[in-house]
A and B are shown apart, each in its own frame.
Chain A
Amino acid sequence: MPLQLFLQYFVSGVIYGSIYAAVAIGFNIVYNATGIINFAQGEFAMLGGMIAASLSHFVPLWFAVVAAVAITAMSGVAMERVFLRRVARGGVLKMIITTIGLSIALREAALLIWGESVRTLPFFSGNEVSSVTVLGANFSPQVFWVVGVTALVVAGLTLFFRFSLSGKAMRGCSANRDGASLCGISPDRMVTMAFGLSAGIGAIAGCIVAPLTQTHYAIGAGLAIKGFTVAAFGGLGNSVAAVVAGLFLGMLESFSIIVVPEAYKDVVTIGVLLLVLFVKPSGLFGSRASGALKDF
């Protein structure tokens, strides 16, 4: 294969991979704090993109994106406070099922608010036809935004969890809930924060990809499946692993098009997910010991 062609597939893989990784990170934050999979994670990305698209008609783009992320983060907080905290005593399964219900409710609410039509967000730099050439591969400058922002989010999260007091408290809660309570950390507050954070990151993901992929009320479910695949593939709870797994899966999808029709690219993804679940349920970088500490 000529180098230029290889690079072109490579860039497509990076785009897909960054999108999946950004969604997967949201799964991981909630998983670390609560031990559950939040199936409304894809809807956060949808909400972020849709709110930003609506606001961008009235305010500057950067403000629309910031506001969309803030509003979505607040809906994440509200979702935890109003619904999930009430069922938390019932165990993780009850909470997971509640997130599935909430994802459907959010999707239908979005259909009522925005209707069925597709929205786009203006490109952050350039426009629909802008293209940059790197080593013979052509792509939209938005790709830089997607990759750059995803990298920033991962770096920011790593620093947050390692050095900030709140971050350390969240990790403490995740490692030993009772112990953390005894140290004066409120686990409930940490869980609320985790939902706010994951909703905000989901919204960021939704905003940075919206110019490329467009967005509509039903885009969440597809993103959630891919994001979950990536999170499970990398090892639940590990955000750096999610990036590696995301890029791997993105490459796999992109290069698989050479032999498999595009229509069946999800078969490749789901095949990988099944393989991981059969062969190494803790994921590529997950360890069985840490997995055993979780209920799910």
Chain B
Amino acid sequence: MPSSTSTRIEVGARAALFCALILSCITPAFAADPIKIGAIFGVTGPAAYLGAPEEKTARMVVDDINRNGGILGRQVQLIVKDSGANSEKAISFAKQLIDEDNVVAIIGPTTSGESMAIKDICEKAGMPLVSCASAETITTPVAKYVFKVPQKDNYIVEWLYGTMRKLGISKIGVIAANTGFGNGGKAQLEKYASKYGMTIAIAEVYDSAATDLSALLTKVNATGVQAVVNWSIEPAQSIVAKNMRQLKMPQQLFQSHGFANIKYVEAAGEAAEGIIFPAGRLIIAGELPASNPQKKLLMKYNADYRALYKEDASTFGGHAIDALMILKSAIEAAKGTNPDKMVQAIEGIKDFPGTAGVFNFSASDHNGLQMDSIEMMTVKNGKFTLYKGK
């Protein structure tokens, strides 16, 4: 049928012309190549309470940078990959970002397990990586191209033990999710116990998708501990709090910095009252004195995030802003995206206020944060507040 063929050719020609027109309109905008930054976040899956705010924050920050003229006059293109907190996926996304997308740096992954999984890949490829996960092992020992912005988990442990010692607690039970984050925290708790004179009477891992922990907590309760430490990032954090109250357990509940998302407080309701946990200052920014170097930045981030996404910012989203701002400052200082110069530039960053703390990087410290980047917090009337002791 010749007529239909000719119609088809005509349609094809028109489509091609149309595409050419569109392309010719778009091309000028890309005249200066954009700076491509890769991001691997667990937007969905078990770490979604961390990964989703990270992704939202990263998009917000990149839009903001681009509106203000980009970096070195070049626009920033953020390529986000949702790993679902799965290490295998993180590995293939890292390879994809390095080999196919030709990004200049990667931020994320969200979890410690994923970060450790891609550490070597980035190191071998000479790809600057700014991790948003907390395990000490990510930057200890130092790998040339690998940095991280959250506070180290050993700082968290030392803050927890310090607080317990003040409260006269010496015999504790540890429960942790069976994930990289949970097992990492449990190992740090066990490592530092003797330094602070703590006895861990029981240390158990639970399934990260657990929906009820009453049987496990019954076992913990039977050991006669004075306090319970829960180390996880999953919704189980709220379930532990509820189950302890339902079991009428008298012990103080401590959580890790994984608790610093107000949604966990909402999910636990009244059971969240009085939980003690260490975290960065973002969630209590309003209580900080005006002289605090982080206050202005924290208040702005909180307000911007709330205006755009109609929900409260969390410390996890803050890691994304820190990672991006550190990269921005490094690219500006290195006057380009040469990986070795970028690494040098990051190592030269001093007194840099971020959401997690004031960063002081060096060749031997790829985290840049000290113990003082953390405060002890508690929950009062459904809100986070500074813990001022009993």
Q: Is B300's CB within 8 Å of the partner chain A?
A: no
A128 to B219 CA separation, bound complex (whole angstroms): 21
Chain A interface residue number, banded: 35 or more
Please state if A258 and B219 are interface contacts (CB–CB under 8 Å): yes
A115 to B48 CA separation, bound complex (whole angstroms): 9
- Name A263's contact: one of B48, B205, B263 (CB within 8 Å): B205
Please state if A117 and B49 are interface contacts (CB–CB under 8 Å): yes
* In the complex, chain A residues 252-286 whose Cβ is within 8 Å of any chain B Cβ: 253-255, 257-258, 261-263, 265-266
Please state if B212 and A213 are interface contacts (CB–CB under 8 Å): yes
The interface residues of chain B lying within 8 Å CB-to-CB of A15 are 212, 214
The interface residues of chain A lying within 8 Å CB-to-CB of B210 are 262
| Number of residue pairs spanning A and B whose beta carbons lie under 8 angstroms apart | 109
Binds A, one of B11-19, B87-95, B111-119, B235-243: B235-243
Chain B interface residue number, banded: 35 or more
Please state if A262 and B213 are interface contacts (CB–CB under 8 Å): yes
- Given A116-B44, A118-B263, CB of A262 within 8 Å of CB of B215: yes
A117 to B205 CA separation, bound complex (whole angstroms): 23
A11 to B217 CA separation, bound complex (whole angstroms): 13
* In the complex, chain B residues 340-366 whose Cβ is within 8 Å of any chain A Cβ: none
Please state if A12 and B245 are interface contacts (CB–CB under 8 Å): no
Please state if A140 and B267 are interface contacts (CB–CB under 8 Å): no
Q: Is B146's CB within 8 Å of the partner chain A?
A: no
Q: Digitize B43-85: 1 where CB-to-A-CB distance is under 8 Å, 0 elsewhere.
A: 1110011001000000000000000000000000000000000
Binds A, one of B268-276, B287-295, B368-376: B268-276
Please state if B268 and A8 are interface contacts (CB–CB under 8 Å): no
Best-surrounded residue of B210, B214, B239 (most CB of chain A within 10 A): B214
Please state if B269 and A120 are interface contacts (CB–CB under 8 Å): yes
The interface residues of chain B lying within 8 Å CB-to-CB of A118 are 49, 235, 238, 263, 267
- Nearest A residue to B182 via CB reads A263
- Nearest B residue to A119 via CB reads B267
Binds B, one of A70-78, A214-222, A227-235: A214-222
Binds B, one of A86-94, A131-139, A156-164, A177-185: A131-139
Residue pairs across A and B with Cβ atoms less than 8 A apart, 19 shown, are A9-B218, A12-B212, A111-B44, A116-B44, A116-B45, A116-B49, A120-B267, A127-B269, A127-B270, A128-B241, A128-B268, A128-B270, A138-B247, A212-B242, A216-B235, A262-B206, A262-B207, A262-B213, A263-B207
Which residues of B pack against A, CB within 8 Å? Answer: 43-45, 48-49, 52, 178, 204-207, 209-216, 218-219, 222, 235, 238-239, 241-242, 245-248, 263, 266-271
Q: A218-B45, A261-B205, A263-B178 are in contact. List 15 more A-B contacts (CB 8 A).
A: A5-B218, A15-B212, A15-B214, A116-B44, A120-B238, A127-B269, A129-B245, A129-B269, A131-B247, A138-B246, A209-B211, A212-B242, A257-B216, A263-B205, A263-B207
